[in-house]
Amino acid sequence: MLPRHHDPIVAIATAPGRGAVGIVRVSGRGLEALAQALCGKPLPPRQACYLPFRDADGRPIDHGLAIWFPAPHSYTGEEVLELQAHGGPVVLQLLLARCLAAAAETDPASGRARLPGLRLAQPGEFTERAFLNGKIDLAQAEAIADLIDASTEAAARSATRSLSGEFSREIGILRDALIHLRMLVEATLDFPEEEIDFLQRADAQGQLQRLQAQLTQVLRKTRQGALLREGIRVVIAGQPNAGKSSLLNALAGAELAIVTPIAGTTRDVVQQAIQIDGVPLHVIDTAGLREGPGIDEVERIGIQRAWSQIEAADAVLFLHDLTRLGQPEYAAADAEIAATLAARLPARVPVIDVWNKADVADSADSGPGTGTAGEGLRLSAKTGAGLQALRQRLLALAGWQGADSGLYIARERHVQALRRVETHLQLAAAHLDAQAQALDLLAEELRLAQNALNEITGAFGADDLLGVIFSSFCIGK
């Protein structure tokens, strides 16, 4: 541990602003003297005591509940003192200041400071200590933040499963199988004249194949869990007056963007988070894409921002206007946008052609399938016809395979780590096929695969990785 991990810490553990209840949390070693100064009496373990919280002169700051958790039976694994008061910002700041002052005061019984070195906690430091003290692993720690930040019911339930350790248990099963195979392979390196027969008798190849099959299942669920957490960025692009803002409003179910028949109404980026079957989608409306005279400086900046959003998208909805289908100038501008999209977007980013204004199109057979329109989805942002098909197409492109009762929340770093495991196991299989000529390389690939698995739960990890993860937490958590 770093030296700062031994300091006692204190913070307001509830969200900023007014509330019915607010919590000030202290974690460290030897909190009894501080608790005595604040509460006026010793506290029994793990019992809520209603009493006044006193200032330096013995006057009550507030009345509330005090709970003392002896180590190691606490959230952080250290001694923890929680003061539950009324949730006014001033009251909580007074309690926080009193904790810091009382810690520095001399305790009459011992003649020393009550809690030397007490300082304000950094973001995520309480949870970081829970991880460092073995109360939770790294995946569970991340699940706490994901549960707080969950934007959908499915994401919240999946985060709860990760917090309970379901994801970690699956990673543990993979790691145990990998360790068993590593021990088998490395043991044979000491007996080169018998290693091939030994590996064949122990069914090393079968073990590796089963391990790869298990990994495939875990990776599938992890991708789905990451999708629940991260969602996808969907950008609506197209010429002015194609109905981009109307489509955003229809998908969001609210009037978020201004809609007028005037070209260039949308000048800036408008973004809204929605959910489809529990999957968060970040839908972005952009300025109409066009060139030529009549574009003022503000609209030009809006168009530049639109292309910036398009280039950062996970999927692009290229919106076409059915009422202008067949007009040469409109078709030429659409073709130019399509060519630019093909040139500027990575191949992995799908572009969905969406044909809008089906409710006012001249004929029922105009649009997709009439030659130049090509394939796409036909809808009306005004009436809502065709919106459900668009939603399902977006989910399919994102790789969503439907709700799974056993799904757990995951992060992109978990997906990347499992992909590295997959790569190392593929190389290990190739070395195993080569038999005696490459068993040392086989052992190395299995070691690297185990290291990648360990990164997920924090069985080992660099301090900078921990810093990035816990700094994203709120203060007091």
What domains does the chain contain, in order, with CATH numbers?
3-136 (3.30.1360.120), 144-227+411-458 (1.20.120.430), 231-398 (3.40.50.300)
Backbone angles phi, psi at 20, to 5 degrees: -65, -40
Given a cut of 90, whether residue 213 has pLDDT beyond it is: yes
Binding residues for Mg(2+): 245, 266
Given a cut of 80, whether residue 197 has pLDDT beyond it is: no
Q: What are the pLDDT digits (tens) for 273-290?
A: 888 887 888 888 888 887
Q: What are the pLDDT digits (tens) for 438-467?
A: 778 888 999 999 999 999 998 754 454 455
Binding residues: 25, 82, 135, 241-246, 260-266, 285-288, 356-359, 477
Q: What is the pLDDT of residue 473?
A: 65
Binding residues for GTP: 241-246, 260-266, 285-288, 356-359
Given a cut of 70, whether residue 373 has pLDDT beyond it is: no
Mean pLDDT of the chain: 84
Binding residues for K(+): 241, 260, 262, 265
Average the pLDDT over each of 122-126, 157-161, 243-247 and give the range with the smallest value. Answer: 243-247
In this structure, how many other beta carbons lie within 10 angstroms of the beta carbon of residue 160?
16
Q: What is the pLDDT of residue 196?
A: 53
Instruction: Average the pLDDT over 17-46 and give the result.
Output: 94
Q: What are the pLDDT digits (tens) for 157-195?
A: 889 999 999 999 999 999 999 988 888 887 777 665 555
The residue type at 419: R
Answer yes or no: are the C-beta atoms of 95 and 24 closer than 8 Å: yes
Q: What are the pLDDT digits (tens) for 61-76?
A: 999 999 999 999 999 9
Q: How far apart are the C-alpha atoms of 102 and 120, rounded to whole Å? A: 14
Binding residues for (6S)-5-formyl-5,6,7,8-tetrahydrofolate: 25, 82, 135, 477
3-state secondary structure the chain: CCHHHHCCEEEECCCCCCEEEEEEEEEECCCHHHHHHHHCCCCCECCCEEEEEECCCCCEEEEEEEEEECCCCCCCCCEEEEEEEEECHHHHHHHHHHHHHHHHCECCCCCCECCCCCEECCCCHHHHHHHHCCCCCHHHHHHHHHHHHCCCHHHHHHHHHHHCCHHHHHHHHHHHHHHHHHHHHHHHCCCCCCHHHHHHHCCHHHHHHHHHHHHHHHHHHHHHHHHHHHCEEEEEEECCCCCHHHHHHHHHCCCCCCCCCCCCCCCCCEEEEEEECCEEEEEEECCCCCCCCCCCHHHHHHHHHHHHHHHCCCEEEEEEEHHHCCCHHHHHHHHHHHHHHHHHCCCCCCEEEEEECCCCCCCCCCCCCCCCCCCCEECCCCCCCCHHHHHHHHHHHHCCCCCCCCCCCCCHHHHHHHHHHHHHHHHHHHHHHHHHHHHHHHHHHHHHHHHHHHHHHCCCCCHHHHHHHHHCCCCCC
